[in-house]
Amino acid sequence: MQRRIARRYAAERRFHAMGLGAVLLSVGFLAFLLVTMIGNGASGFRRTEVLVPVDFAHASIRLDPASFRGPGRDAALAAADFEGVLFESAQQKFGGGSFKLLSEGAWLAVRNKVADNPDILKGQAAIWVPASSAIDRAAKSGAADADLDRVRKVTEVRTSFDLSFLTGADSTDPTMVGVWGAFKGSLLTMLVTLALAFPVGVLSALYLEEYAPRNRWTDLIEVSINNLAAVPSIIFGLLGLAVFLNTMNLPRSAPIVGGLTLALMTMPVIVIAGRNAIKAVPPSIRDAALGIGASRVQVVFHHVLPLALPGILTGTIIGMARALGETAPLLMIGMRAFVSAPPGGLTDPATVLPVQIFLWSDEVSKGFVEKTSAAIIVLLVFLMAMNGLAIYLRNRFERRW
């Protein structure tokens, strides 16, 4: 008897150790992922800049301060050759080959400075402009670089937080890229997905569980929904391409098309989770409500649905998290285009964070390596914020009985 009890306790300790080991292994994988991404991507949130004295007064390209005021200000800013003015000043400061010391979009810093204060065109102004990708990497890593040493001999160099990475859009130059365009595209796409998948999925689950007759057709629908939840995501991309683009002629690479496509993929997950949550509500709740004279609709929406809502939200979290990280179906509907400006609405060309990460990881320039990791960090933060909000709502509506 004592030997049998000892074996039972030993088996319990082994099971406890295996469970704890599985948890620690999962935490270890997560920690390794986060440490790797943060280690590689932290430098992507910083940018190296060079102080360049720009002599507007004696430049060969003359700019009139008056043209940058009033109604024609935007047109004048778009037409002015700020790149030529900056290149001329850089040649005077650094000598030959100065074009490879500065970023391709360095002239945008000059334009923004003039837009803020057109009076600087009357004289000279020292402006911080982004350095080239090679100098940027050398300054961050501390490695020896002849071009960086050459710049430091004649002017100041600084590495600071890159706000434009969080407020800009895609670019061919790694020092000028930003994630706001892809972030906004993901946000608009997720809003369309949630607005369509959640109500349709919940209503479908309510009907199948509370109203649908138990017959062969209902069984066929249930099997079809379960199969749809296991279909590869690229199939939904092909469906979106055939229905929304080729048949309905919706704009290509638009958040509304991406949202509709991802909604088709997310809906089966919400239906399955919703049915399980509704089924878990005790029959006594329904019987008590019917016993005091409530109608069938009142029972469902006043008693069953509020009690099942936490479980439904759990399924919604899983479905939306999967949709946020999807790339393949969005590539099929054309959301891999180069989009240099954030989308202004649901029908404007856009990209999303997973696709943006995929595109940057395929770039040749080494400067995109840290930007890819930084974009992954932004995606993880977005995912955690979305899941945190859903968990808060789930706990907020949770009722115990």
| pTM of the complete model | 0.83
Residue with structure tokens 């004696």? Answer: 58
* pLDDT at 86 (0 to 100): 80
| 90, 52 contact by CB (below 8 A) | yes
Per DSSP, helices labelled H in 241-346 are: 255-279, 283-291, 296-299, 305-324, 328-332
H/E element, 84? helix 82-94
Report the alpha-carbon distance of residue 286 to residue 370 in Å, rounded. Answer: 56
How far is Cα of residue 204 from the mean position of the Cα atoms in its chain? 29
CATH code for the domain defined by 180-397: 1.10.3720.10
| 115, 68 contact by CB (below 8 A) | yes
Residue extents of the structural domains in the chain: 46-161, 180-397
* pLDDT at 400 (0 to 100): 64
* pLDDT at 188 (0 to 100): 92
H/E element, 51? strand 46-55
pLDDT tens per residue across all 401 residues of the chain: 788 888 888 888 899 999 999 999 999 998 998 888 888 888 888 888 888 888 777 666 666 777 777 777 777 777 777 778 788 877 877 777 777 788 888 888 888 888 787 777 777 888 888 888 888 888 888 777 777 888 788 888 888 888 888 888 888 888 888 889 889 989 999 999 999 999 999 999 998 888 888 888 888 888 888 888 888 888 888 888 888 888 888 888 888 999 999 999 999 999 998 999 888 888 888 878 888 887 888 888 888 888 888 888 888 888 888 888 888 888 888 887 777 788 888 888 888 989 889 888 888 788 888 888 899 999 888 888 888 887 887 777 766 65
